[in-house]
Amino acid sequence: MRIGLEATCLVDGMFPQVGRATVRLLERLGHEVVFPLEQSCCGQMHINTGYGRFALPLVRRYADAFADVDAVVVPSGSCAGSVRHQHAALARAAGDEGLARAAKEVAARTYELSELLVDVLGLADVGAYYPHRVTYHPTCHSLRVLRVGEKPLRLLRNVEALDLVELPEAESCCGFGGTFALKNPDVSAAMLADKMRHVLSTRADVCTAGDSSCLMHIGGGLGRLSTGVRTVHLAEILASTKDDAESGATHATGTAQGVAS
């Protein structure tokens, strides 16, 4: 399959190891991964904050950039959710039916990483090896917008040597929420404190999720407390192999102290 990678702004600008892991994983599974250079932000930030007209060119750019691939993988439930549920609606609201049709067509071929692996490629075991104690945080958009459900957990349960421990109150938001953390810092900090308390109660070495934004928020908090718990994107864990471990390669570095320490 020829798969296009939508890197997302955070992965492109702050967490490139997540994009590299996504490519490494899919190529190991035998697929061609392409990275159209004309891609840009999906526009979700503009849409969610009421600046839809500024997002319209980004919707068009997305539809054009990924017009000739079999599928698009997005290592983010948040951005994949925007493409699937906002792009065509925004174009239609602007009266551009041609763009709405194009956006709907490419949205139907756009998948968050665990969706692509489980629903499209029919995999639950991707041959990963990750000898760490791991807990999983289901991010709000992956859980409530895309409804990925158990797919990430199914993939993690099949990772060799990984000790998966359940996160208490896992479905509670971490408090990031895009601009929510900026507009409501006190509430966001309180929600983060609850999330960190639950992560620490698992005694996990690593907290993983499918969105770099939430991991940045959680990792920043854990780093400020010097807990030693790393946040590592799901793609990095699934891309890890036994050969990596034996050779000393450390692809899955995560954010040991977060970005806000």
pLDDT tens digits for range 186-225: 999 999 999 999 999 999 999 999 999 999 999 999 999 9
Give the end of a domain, one of 120, 151, 175.
Answer: 120
Residues 68 and 160 reside in one and the same domain: no
53 domain-assigned:
yes
For residue 239, being part of any structural domain is answered with yes
Structural domain containing residue 22: 2-120
User: Does residue 179 form part of some domain?
Assistant: yes
Which pLDDT does position 250 carry in this prediction?
61
Q: Based on the domain organization, do 154 and 90 belong to the same domain?
A: no
The pTM is what? 0.93
Evaluate whether residue 255 is within a structural domain.
Answer: no
The token pair that represents 200 in the structure block: 């620490």
Q: Same domain, yes or no, for 180 and 112? A: no
pLDDT confidence tier of residue 178, bands split at 50, 70 and 90: confident
Cα–Cα separations (whole angstroms), residue 56 to 60, 68, 93, 154, 220: 6, 20, 10, 36, 32
- If one counts every other C-beta atom within 10 angstroms of the C-beta of residue 228, the result is 10
What percentage of the chain exceeds 70 in pLDDT?
A: 95
End residue of a domain, out of 90, 120, 150: 120
Q: Are 170 and 219 within one domain? A: yes
**235 by DSSP, 3-state: which?**
helix
Residue 207 domain-assigned (yes or no): yes
Is the pLDDT reported for residue 248 higher than 80? no
Query: For residue 257, is it within any domain?
Result: no
State which of 86, 120, 154 marks the end of a domain: 120
Q: Which residues contact 183 (CB under 8 A, 6 or more apart)?
A: none
Distance separating alpha carbons of residues 47 and 248, to the nearest angstrom = 43
Q: Whole-number mean pLDDT of the chain?
A: 94
The yes-or-no verdict on residue 104 having pLDDT over 60 is: yes
- The CATH number of whichever domain residue 206 belongs to comes to 3.40.50
- What does the pLDDT look like over 13-58, one tens digit per residue? 999 999 999 999 999 999 999 999 999 999 999 999 899 899 999 9
How far is it, in rounded angstroms, from Cα 158 to Cα 128? 8
Helix, strand, coil fractions of the chain, as percent rounded to 5: 50, 10, 40
Q: How many domains does the chain have?
A: 2
Helix (H, G, I), strand (E, B) or coil at 170: coil
- Cα–Cα distance, 215 to 136 (Å, whole number): 11
Q: Report, as an integer, the average pLDDT of 100-118.
A: 98
Does residue 114 sit within a domain? yes
Answer yes or no: do 155 and 242 share one domain: yes
